[in-house]
Amino acid sequence: MKSILESRPELTKRINDVAEVAGYLWQKGWAERNGGNITINITDIADEGIKAMEPISDAIPVGRTLPHLKGGYFFCKGTNRRMRDLARWPMENGAVIRMLDDCAGYVIIADNPVKPTSELTSHLSIHDYQTGIGSGRKAVLHTHPVELVAMTHHRPFLEKDKLTYLLWSMIPETRAFCPKGLGVIPYRMPGSVELAGATVETLKEYDVVMWEKHGVCAVDTDVMAAFDQVDVLSKSAQIYLAAKAMGFEPDGTTREDMEALKIAFNLPG
Ligand code: 2HA
Ligand code: ZN
């Protein structure tokens, strides 16, 4: 069977980037079994050939109506598929979908009828919002970084922006490369419409959000950039943990020094 990637170098590059990031997630120990998911919006490179492709699945409802995604195209990790398998065989462990004109359902078009991630409602809701505001953010990444998830098991860390300032204060790069900080969403059922709604709302203020006692969800222009944001936050969490393991509370960069960074690098937040 001919792959959708054949003679499509830009699409191939984007899928290869997804596969590369999937490998990082596995290597970092953030993607046990089928944990985590990735979707990317590929509507901008959906050519006439892609638009003419016949569905290879029935219409599947999303659970929400997403008006900005009419006729949109996405590559999605498959539900119950391993991240480490996505790294090696992306087209066997993910699929390209086309949103239907009713904006409430989709069909799979290539390469195989691999049903998308259980978190598709959250992912597509985020893509809908990002498309609506024309942000150019095309990648959504959800993963289970050990130290960051552990931190959400401590109630004081769940207060608004408590974790953001703590993580920013561990190393200047986190302030610079995750300039909007980390939003926290109280525990909600994985895959639920409630989690999707809360995620979209919180991502209006942040680029990365924590799902309490579950994982992070990051949005950025491409999958590498989304991974980088989670990676710098995770590095900060590890520095915090290393200091605690050495038996002391880390001092942290002062608010004044962080403010100076914000001005010097012209950062939002
Ligand atoms: O895809 O991580 O949150 C598996 C998950 C669900
Ligand atoms: Zn998860």
Average pLDDT over residues 241-268: 94
* Contact residues for 204 (Cβ-Cβ < 8 A; gap 6+): 129
Which range marks the domain in which residue 74 is found? 9-264
Give the model's pLDDT for residue 184. 98
Residue with tokens 């490998």: 23
- Which of 25, 26, 37 is the pocket-test mutation for ligand 1 (most atoms within 8 Å of CB)? 37
| Nearest ligand, measured from the Cα of 210 | 2
Q: Is residue 1 part of a domain?
A: no
Rounding to the nearest 10 degrees, give the CA dihedral for residues 126, 38, 14, 1.
-120
User: Ligand 1 atom closest to Cα of 211?
Assistant: 3
Asked if 119 is an active-site residue, the reply is yes
Residue 257 lies in a domain: yes
Statement: residue 269 has pLDDT above 70: no
Residue 191, C-beta contacts closer than 8 angstroms, at least 6 positions apart: 118, 119, 121, 122
CA distances to 54, 98, 234 from 143, in Å: 32, 24, 11
Tell which atom from ligand 1 comes closest to the C-alpha of 79.
1
269 assigned to some structural domain: no
Residue 255 inside a domain? The answer is yes
pLDDT-derived band at 268, boundaries 50, 70, 90: confident
Residue ID of nearest Cα to ligand 1 atom 3: 190
Give the CATH number, domain containing residue 180.
3.40.225.10
- Structure confidence at residue 18 as a pLDDT band (50, 70, 90): very high
pLDDT tens for each residue of 98-108? 999 999 999 99
List, for residues 152-211, the tens digit of each pLDDT value. Answer: 999 999 999 999 999 999 999 999 999 999 999 999 999 999 999 999 999 999 999 999
Among residues 120, 146, 144, 152, the alpha carbon closest in space to that of 34 is found at 144
Report field, pTM of the whole predicted structure over 0.95 = yes
Whether 109 maps to a domain, the answer reads yes
Domain count, the chain: 1
Catalytic residue among 6, 32, 54, 119: 119
Q: Classify residue 3: in a domain, yes or no.
A: no
Residue 185 lies in a domain: yes
Asked whether residue 264 carries a pLDDT value surpassing 80, the answer given is: yes
- Whether residue 98 lies inside any domain: the answer is yes
41 C-alpha to center of ligand 2: Å?
20
**Predicted confidence band at 1 (pLDDT cuts at 50, 70, 90)?**
confident
Of ligand 1's listed atoms, the one at least distance from the Cα of 142 is: 2
Q: What is the pLDDT of residues 97-134, one digit of tens each?
A: 999 999 999 999 999 999 999 999 999 999 999 999 99
157 closest CA partner among 236, 226, 220? 236
From residue 245, alpha-carbon distances to 165, 173, 183, 213, 231 in Å are: 20, 22, 26, 21, 21
| Residue 19 structure tokens | 């596969």
Probe residue for ligand 1, chosen from 26, 32, 76, 119 as the CB with the greatest number of ligand atoms within 8 Å: 119
Write out residues with Cβ below 6 Å of ligand 1.
34-37, 117-119, 142, 190
- Average pLDDT, whole number, for the chain? 97
pLDDT exceeding 90 applies to what percent of the chain?
Answer: 98
